[in-house]
Amino acid sequence: MEDFKVIDNYLMVKMPEEIDHHKAAYISEYADKYILKDTVENVVFDFEDTRFMDSSGIGIIVGRYRKISCFGGKVFAIHADRQIKRILHISGLHKILEIME
Amino acid sequence: MIEVKTQMPYVLQGGNYMKNEMCMEFDAISTNESLARVAVASFIAPLNPTLEEISDVKTAVSEAVTNAIIHGYENTYGYGCHGISKPAYVEVNEGKVTLRCKIERGILCVEVEDKGAGIENVGKAMEPLFTTKPQLERSGMGFAFMEAFMDDLEVESVVGVGTKVMMKKKLRCGTWLEHEGEE
Ligand SMILES: Nc1ncnc2c1ncn2[C@@H]1O[C@H](COP(=O)(O)OP(=O)(O)O)[C@@H](O)[C@H]1O
Ligand SMILES: [Mg+2]
């Protein structure tokens, strides 16, 4: 899948245009395949194309964080627009997620 | 409760506020989450809402409708998981979600109703991070988002009967006061 790329020990996940419960399952499922099989330590969520997200997106991030944080891995967010940043902040996710400009 | 009735001739009350109502009913399957939020976004479009208002409303509607589908009727993904149109699980529970919207004086009222499982303790359910489905990676932030993105949130629920979520939001052009703007 072109939406998932491994660069060094980072898994880059290109998030879809709309992230809701309907889309969430496949993102988590695919991300976990890469996390298990490759030498992935950290996960980068790229929100460049994302125009909509609800709390299902929070579930995806927290779920992946749980899988990698016990091995010292980190989660990052890039290209998050204002609305997505707001959602990340309201849910307190900025405490575990590094939001890059 | 929003009663959708045939529209009476409407006399503009001083302001330029539009009055409009709509009601839709759809199957409790996950593909309809986007249908519902896009419908509400189009419903408020004539009022020229800000981009932020549109996003807020879409997120809140998405949360309420998703809850009806996955908690009310326990339909985990319904159809279309992985972008294919065959059922992700063979079993999909029958159930309808009703979405009612009303705009008056620039105030949007949205109701999302299901006839599903119901909530035992509404106060507890509304606490941030509380979820009964952690195995599905639910974050427990649904009600918190509805509260944050709308101005008013009320939940009525009876176990075994169903759940109704009522939300209100004042759009940029709106006023809470019935008579504001009248001569
Ligand atoms: N329509 C509903 N029918 C039954 N239970 C519901 C409904 N909506 C919410 N709930 C209950 O309230 C809890 C909290 O909801 P929410 O804040 O949206 O978090 P989440 O959906 O992530 O679990 C749910 O886990 C569920 O137990
Ligand atoms: Mg929810």
Mean pLDDT of B123-138: 92
SS3 assignment, position A42: strand
Residue A13 amino acid letter: V
> Is residue B170 over pLDDT 80?
yes
**Sign of torsion, CA A57 B110 B83 A3?**
negative
Examine the pLDDT at B78 and tell me if it is beyond 50.
Answer: no
| Among the listed residues B82, B69, B1, B73, the one whose alpha carbon sits nearest the alpha carbon of residue B32 | B69
Whether the pLDDT of residue B15 is over 80: the answer is no
Hey, which residues does B166 pair with through a beta bridge? B111, B154
Domains detected in chain B: 20-182 (3.30.565.10)
Nearest-by-Cβ selection for B34 from A18, A82, A83: A18
HSE-up of residue A19 (Cα within 13 Å, Cβ side): 27
Q: From the CA of B163, give the closest atom in ligand 1.
A: 1
ipTM of the complex as predicted: 0.93
**B chain contacts of residue A91, beta-carbon cutoff 8 Å:** 128, 139, 141, 144-145
pLDDT at residue A29 tops 80? yes
Q: In what order do the strands lie in the sheet with A42-46?
A: A4-7, A10-14, A42-46, A75-78, A97-99
Model confidence at B3, pLDDT cuts 50, 70, 90, reads confident
- For residue B17, how far is the Cα from the chain centroid? 22
Q: Which of A48-62, A76-90, B70-84, B130-144 has the lowest mean pLDDT?
A: B70-84
Confidence of residue B81 (pLDDT cuts 50, 70, 90): very low
Q: Domains along chain A?
A: 4-99 (3.30.750.24)
Q: Measure the CA–CA gap between A24 and B72, rounded to whole angstroms.
A: 19
Q: What angle in degrees, to the nearest 10, is found between the helix axes of A21-37 and B32-44?
A: 130
User: With an 8 Å Cβ cutoff, is A50 touching chain B?
Assistant: no
Q: What is the pLDDT of residue B137?
A: 86
Determine whether the interchain pair A55/B141 forms a contact, defined as Cβ–Cβ distance below 8 Å.
Answer: yes
Q: pLDDT above 90 covers what percent of chain B?
A: 65
pLDDT in tens, B27-65: 999 889 999 999 999 999 999 999 999 999 999 999 999
Cβ contact, residue pair B62, A63, below 8 Å: no
The pTM is what? 0.90
Q: Name the average pLDDT for chain B.
A: 86
Q: Give the nearest partner residue to B33 out of A21, A53, A91, using CB atoms.
A: A21
Q: Give me ligand 2 centre to Cα A56, in Å.
A: 8
Question: Where does ligand 1 bind, in terms of residues with CB under 6 Å?
Answer: A 55; B 63, 67-68, 71-72, 114, 116-119, 125, 130-133, 138-140, 142-143, 163
- Residue B96 phi, psi dihedral angles, 5° rounding: -120, 145
| Cα–ligand 2 centroid distance for A82 (angstroms) | 22
Which residue did the predictor score with more confidence, B9 or B59? Answer: B59
Reference A55, options A99, A20, A26, A79; nearest CA is A20
Which of B114 and A32 is assigned the larger pLDDT? B114
- Asked whether the beta carbons of residue B82 and residue A22 sit closer than 8 angstroms, the reply is no
Q: What's the gap in Å between the CA of B72 and the closest CA on chain A?
A: 14
* Interchain contact, A55 vs B55, CB within 8 Å: no
